[in-house]
């Protein structure tokens, strides 16, 4: 396959930008042509290999002058929508961070603009890249659990309660849109869809702010306006019930994302920390793994499956642009998750189930 050159730029030079640069800039034929952020360029964390790349504080100027083919959007959530439209207008493919947008209307406009421009749009649903998640998906798709009956997802963190984590844009609803619900809940929503392939039919939920205020790095107190914990219930296609819980204030939990799924012939569970193993209880009728034990042991994935690997998200957009068939989480996936988030917020206002689709 011919490797044609790709000009690549990043908007928002904070934490996750490092992952985008690592996954995208290291691929053959990719040249980083511009980096942008509203803060002083001298304060950005830039790896030595990108030290000579032009730096911009004006995003539109960077797009105009550097003419990238692909742009990563790594800013706080509020800016995902406007920068996506801008990058598409400048002729670039876009890979955007999650949650895709602040509202369903914004996410719909992003997908419509992408389709009109004829470009690719990726959303960094990073857990899709974990081997255990991909293997669980294959087991379920192959029918190894039989007809699915229940799903349970938890995503627990503690950082928000820690003094070491100062107040940031993540705690401001005007910049983040959501707290735990949009930051962690969106990974659960996409993760359950990715593993089961089941659509969301209706949802109801509750999100709360358990931590009213937080000190910034200078010690000044600010009100926390984003939810710190949320729980929601969904009916998936086929009537499967899925329960979800997420929090940023559970002492003892660093980054604990677990999905458990039961079907008529077995139960499996995946955990974000266990990338190369999963828990599986296999019934008598399981075919391919009939020799597996009938409790719920942690099983290593087959080494040949791990060896096969997968392009990392967000890096999968590069082979996708080059016409390779890869598993890329797209704007359509981001929009699906955004609709579920929007329906949960609506259910909190109305006190009633919200239908989707």
**Interacting residues toward ligand NAD by CB under 6 A:** 11-16, 36-39, 59, 74-77, 79, 97-98, 124, 126, 183
Nearer to ligand NAD, 38 or 215 (CB): 38
Give the list of residues 6+ apart from residue 143 with CB closer than 8 angstroms, or none: none
What DSSP designation does 167 have?
Answer: -
Classify residue 318 by burial, with Cβ atoms within 10 Å: 0-12, 13-18, 19+.
buried
Q: Please, what is the Cα angle at 171 between 169 and 175, to 5 degrees?
A: 45
Cβ 332 to ligand NAD, closest distance in Å? 17
Nearer to ligand NAD, 23 or 69 (CB): 23
User: With left for phi above 0 and alpha for psi between -120 and 50, is residue 235 left, alpha or beta?
Assistant: beta
Cα-Cα-Cα-Cα dihedral of 333, 70, 117, 11, to 10°? 80
Sheet containing strand 6-11, edge to edge, reads 55-56, 30-36, 6-11, 70-73, 93-96, 121-123
Nearer to ligand NAD, 38 or 221 (CB): 38
- The candidate with the shortest Cα–Cα distance to 207, out of 349, 80, 338, 356, is 349
Cβ 254 to ligand NAD, closest distance in Å? 14
Cβ 79 to ligand NAD, closest distance in Å? 5
Cβ 43 to ligand NAD, closest distance in Å? 9
Cβ 98 to ligand NAD, closest distance in Å? 5
- Cβ proximity of 288 and 145 under 8 Å: no
Compute the radius of gyration of the chain from its Cα atoms: 21
Give the list of residues 6+ apart from residue 219 with CB closer than 8 angstroms, or none: none
Nearest residue to ligand NAD on Cβ basis: 14
Cβ 8 to ligand NAD, closest distance in Å? 16
Cβ 167 to ligand NAD, closest distance in Å? 12
Nearer to ligand NAD, 93 or 281 (CB): 93
Element (H, E) at 6: strand 6-11
Cα–Cα distance for residue pair 280/300, rounded to 1 Å: 10
Nearer to ligand NAD, 191 or 263 (CB): 191
Nearer to ligand NAD, 122 or 205 (CB): 122
Nearer to ligand NAD, 77 or 204 (CB): 77
Cβ 176 to ligand NAD, closest distance in Å? 8
Nearer to ligand NAD, 46 or 236 (CB): 46
- Cβ proximity of 161 and 270 under 8 Å: no
Cβ 168 to ligand NAD, closest distance in Å? 6
End-to-end Cα spacing for the chain: 39
- The candidate with the shortest Cα–Cα distance to 324, out of 72, 28, 108, is 28
Nearer to ligand NAD, 218 or 307 (CB): 218
């Amino acid at each position: 396959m011919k490797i044609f050159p790709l000009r690549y730029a990043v908007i928002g030079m904070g934490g996750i930008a490092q992952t985008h640069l690592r996954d995208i800039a290291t691929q053959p034929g990719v040249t980083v042509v511009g980096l942008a952020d509203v803060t002083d360029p001298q304060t950005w964390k830039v790896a030595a290999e990108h030290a000579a790349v032009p730096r911009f504080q004006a995003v539109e100027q960077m797009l105009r002058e550097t003419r990238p083919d692909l742009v990563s959007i790594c800013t706080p959530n509020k800016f995902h929508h406007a920068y996506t439209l801008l990058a598409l207008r400048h002729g670039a493919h876009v890979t955007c961070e999650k949650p895709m947008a602040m509202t369903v209307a914004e996410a719909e406009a992003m997908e419509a603009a992408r389709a009109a421009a004829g470009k690719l749009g990726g959303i960094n649903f990073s857990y899709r890249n974990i081997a255990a998640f991909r293997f669980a998906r294959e087991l379920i798709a192959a029918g190894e659990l039989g007809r699915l009956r229940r799903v349970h997802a938890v995503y627990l963190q503690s950082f928000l309660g820690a003094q070491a984590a100062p107040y940031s844009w993540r705690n401001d609803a005007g910049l983040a849109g959501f707290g735990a619900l949009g930051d962690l809940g969106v990974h659960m929503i996409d993760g359950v869809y990715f593993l089961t392939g089941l659509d969301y039919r209706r949802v109801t939920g509750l999100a709360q702010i358990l931590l009213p205020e937080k000190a910034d790095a200078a010690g000044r107190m600010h009100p926390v306006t984003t939810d710190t914990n949320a729980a929601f219930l969904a009916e998936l296609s086929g009537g499967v019930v899925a329960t979800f819980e997420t929090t940023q204030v559970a002492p003892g939990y660093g980054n604990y994302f677990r999905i458990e799924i039961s079907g008529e012939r077995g139960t499996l569970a995946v955990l974000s920390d266990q990338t190369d193993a999963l828990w599986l209880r296999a019934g008598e009728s399981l075919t391919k793994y009939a020799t597996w034990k009938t409790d719920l042991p942690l099983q290593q994935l087959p080494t040949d499956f791990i060896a096969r690997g997968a392009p990392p998200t967000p890096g999968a957009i590069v082979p996708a642009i080059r016409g390779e068939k890869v598993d890329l989480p797209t704007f359509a996936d981001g929009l699906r998750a955004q609709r579920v988030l929007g329906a949960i917020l609506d259910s909190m206002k109305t006190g009633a189930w919200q239908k989707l689709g």
